Amino acid sequence: MKYILMMHGKRADWDEYTGWSKEDLQRNVAYMRSFSRELNDRGVFVDTKGLALPHEAKIVRAGQNGEPVTDGVFPESKEFLAGYWVIDVETPEQAYQIAARASAAPGPGGMPANMPIEVRQVLGSHSDLGL
Amino acid sequence: MALSEYASDVPIGHLLRELTPQVLGMVVRRFRDFAAAEDAVQEASIAAVMQWPQAGIPENPRAWLTQVAFRKMTDHIRGESARRRRETEVAEEAARAPLTGFDAAPMNDDTLVLLFMCCHPALAPSSAIALTLRAVGGLTTAEIANAFLVPEATMAQRISRAKQTIKASGIPFQLPGPEERRVRLRALLHVLYLIFNEGYTATSGPHLLRADLSREGIRLARMALQLEPGNTEISGLLALMLLTDARRHARTGSNDELIPLSQQNRTLWDRGQIAEGVALLSAALPKGSVGPYQLQAAIAAVHDEAEHPEDTDWPQILELYELLKRMSDNPMVILNHAIAAAMVHGPKEGLNLLDGLHGEPRIAAHHRLDAVRAHLLEMAGAPQAAAKYYLAAAGKTVNLPERNYLLMQAARLGSR
């Protein structure tokens, strides 16, 4: 079963992140690299993407004749998707455990940053005849 | 180069898939290192794919592949450096020994041992599936990765971890004893069933590739039955696959929407596959203990044999579910039993059975419970209540076509 692990953040979180010390940043980057390696080694990795900052983010709707109508810029308090991982695991518990590993990435002073990770199952094929 | 013009890679691929497990069995038997042997045979297959289209398929392709795999094994062992000099000598001697044992019996044993090894209960199902498809099915890692919609590197890692698990567990390369054999057979049947099911319920990705998994499941089940001709549960599994797959072209519409059994165009069912499934089952059923695969196959056969939905022999299906329920506490069996009871004794009876299931957490949480209740409420002439439960079920399923189907049912009953 595939799960998407989504990391959301506000503009303020980014501003805080950019204020981290060099050591804190290095520790965090090293942790995330080893986290990626771990997903690969366990054979559960499907996809990951980090998203650009939402300076230019727009909400698009189709107007008359299907022409794009855009909406934005957004208030600083709005939550944006910062990035995601897609994993393929055997049980929901495994997905939660991996999400917790992502959330435990070190923040300032090496303390776990405890970023909230939203875990959602990806719609797919699941059927069971009862065997 | 007329040969390369006409020899498409399709027959070579087929040939390799057939020969791979036989060659692998022989290499593992001789060198006793499953993980390295699996790599060696994969390399030999790649060599064949590159060379045979130009040079032509050798007269004895199995011997060719075995020789190449033996050489790769020797290289591998040599590469493990001089400190293991003595092992190398043994290996070289093994590789020099004349190739014998091409008679069918020991080779079949080897393939069966391989199958048991790849479907070992110590492996997580997804690992066992990947390893079985590669080592016994002869598929490439890329093909397996495509079929399961994960990157090739991830699938390679899964296969490599599975091989390490087998190596670490120290399972000997031999047929398990009678006691162990029952446990291993159950795992083997389950893995083959999962391979089939993954292809059959495919809802996303390149459909052809996914449908190939069903064919692969059927092919592997055929192979298993050939190796264990008297085994009635393997017969049951193969029959179940054939009887289910026979409805493939009728079960989805032009927009990939699900079409339930009662509304399928039965002229699209594959009569040949149904006949084969029924014949397998008829031969297996009288032979002794009847397991869950034979019962599921029997239920599929009763459905397949009805020319119109109203001809379905529901009393027989109900009886079969009664038997199955005694063997399995799986929510799907219990819910399907309630449907069968409703078809025989009326929707009230089915709804009463569902009411009795509240205390069972596995069933209470199952997304199909709401769908079954909706179906029975509709039968009972309570469309509004039915619509409510169709919507509840739609909110819980993780299968997109099923969600669409359930929403459609709710809309049909005018839920809003």
How do the residues of chain A divide into helix, strand and coil, expressed in percent and rounded to 5? 35, 30, 30
pLDDT 10s digits, B376-390: 999 999 999 999 999
What is the structure's pLDDT at B44? 92
With respect to residue A129, please indicate whether it lies within any of the assigned structural domains.
no
Residues of chain B with pLDDT under 70: 1-10, 81-91, 93-108, 202-211, 415-416
Mutation target for A interface from B134, B141, B149, B196: give the one with most A CBs within 10 A: B149
Closest partner residue to A130 (CB to CB) among B125, B158, B328 is B328
Tell me the residues of A at the B interface, defined by beta carbons under 8 Å apart.
1-2, 40-47, 88, 90, 121-131
- Number of residue pairs across A and B with CB atoms under 8 Å? 81
With CB atoms and an 8 Å threshold, state whether B398 touches A121: yes
Distance between A120 CA and the closest CA of chain B, angstroms? 10
Note whether B198 contacts A: Cβ–Cβ < 8 A: yes
What is the structure's pLDDT at B101? 43
- Is ipTM > 0.95 here? no
Mutation target for A interface from B134, B146, B154: give the one with most A CBs within 10 A: B154
Closest partner residue to B332 (CB to CB) among A41, A43, A128 is A128
Mutation target for A interface from B398, B402, B407: give the one with most A CBs within 10 A: B398
Count the neighbouring beta carbons within 10 Å of the beta carbon of residue B264. 18
With respect to residue A76, please indicate whether it lies within any of the assigned structural domains.
yes
With CB atoms and an 8 Å threshold, state whether A43 touches B292: no
With CB atoms and an 8 Å threshold, state whether A130 touches B324: yes
Among B396, B349, B333, B343, CA closest to B370: B396
**Mean pLDDT, to the nearest integer, of A64-85?**
88
Closest partner residue to A90 (CB to CB) among B126, B153, B200 is B126
With CB atoms and an 8 Å threshold, state whether B399 touches A127: yes
Among B221, B235, B11, B241, CA closest to B115: B221
CATH of the domain at A104: 3.30.70.1060
With CB atoms and an 8 Å threshold, state whether A131 touches B400: no
With respect to residue A130, please indicate whether it lies within any of the assigned structural domains.
no
Relative to beta strand A45-50, strand A79-88 is antiparallel
Residues of chain B with Cβ-Cβ distance to A93 below 8 Å are none
* Residues A84 and A7 sit within 8 Å (Cβ to Cβ): yes
Residues of chain B with Cβ-Cβ distance to A121 below 8 Å are 398
Pick B133 or A55 by higher pLDDT: B133
| A3 vs B278: CA distance, rounded Å | 39
Distance between A47 CA and the closest CA of chain B, angstroms? 8
Q: Which residue range forms the structural domain that includes residue A22?
A: 2-124
What is the structure's pLDDT at B211? 67
Pick A64 or A55 by higher pLDDT: A64
Q: If contacts are CB pairs under 8 Å, which of residues 121-180 in chain B contact chain A?
A: 124-127, 148-151, 153-155, 157-158, 161
What is the structure's pLDDT at B6? 36
pLDDT 10s digits, A1-51: 899 999 998 888 888 888 899 999 999 999 999 999 999 999 999 999 999
| B301 vs B305: CA distance, rounded Å | 6
| Number of domains present in the structure of chain A | 1
The token pair that represents B208 in the structure block: 């052809």
What is the structure's pLDDT at B88? 67
With CB atoms and an 8 Å threshold, state whether B153 touches A44: no
Relative to beta strand A2-10, strand A45-50 is unpaired
Q: Which residue of chain B comes nearest to A124, CA vs CA? A: B399
Which residue in this structure is represented by tokens 């997580």? Answer: B124
With respect to residue A54, please indicate whether it lies within any of the assigned structural domains.
yes
CA angle B227, B224, B328 (to 5 degrees): 130
Residues of chain A with Cβ-Cβ distance to B261 below 8 Å are none
* Residues B371 and B393 sit within 8 Å (Cβ to Cβ): yes
Q: Which residues of B39-56 are buried (b: 16+ CB within 10 A; e: fewer)?
A: bbbbbbbebbeeebbeee
Residues of chain B with Cβ-Cβ distance to A41 below 8 Å are 157, 161
**Amino acid type, B57:** I
Residues of chain A with Cβ-Cβ distance to B398 below 8 Å are 1, 121-124, 126
Please report, to the nearest 10 degrees, the dihedral formed by the alpha carbons of residues B4, B137, B199, B301 taken in order.
110
* Residues B198 and B148 sit within 8 Å (Cβ to Cβ): yes
Closest partner residue to B157 (CB to CB) among A1, A41, A127 is A41
Distance between A121 CA and the closest CA of chain B, angstroms? 7
Q: If contacts are CB pairs under 8 Å, which of residues 19-58 in chain B contact chain A?
A: none
Predicted TM-score (pTM) of the model is: 0.82
Residues of chain B with Cβ-Cβ distance to A130 below 8 Å are 296, 324, 328, 330-333, 336
Q: Which residues of A31-43 are buried (b: 16+ CB within 10 A; e: fewer)?
A: bbeebeeebeebb
With CB atoms and an 8 Å threshold, state whether B126 touches A88: yes
Distance between A31 CA and the closest CA of chain B, angstroms? 20
Residues of chain B with Cβ-Cβ distance to A88 below 8 Å are 126, 148, 150, 154
What is the structure's pLDDT at B90? 66
B405 to each of A121, B263, B375, B379, B382, how far by Cα in Å?
19, 13, 12, 17, 19
What is the structure's pLDDT at A126? 54
With respect to residue A115, please indicate whether it lies within any of the assigned structural domains.
yes
What is the structure's pLDDT at B410? 94
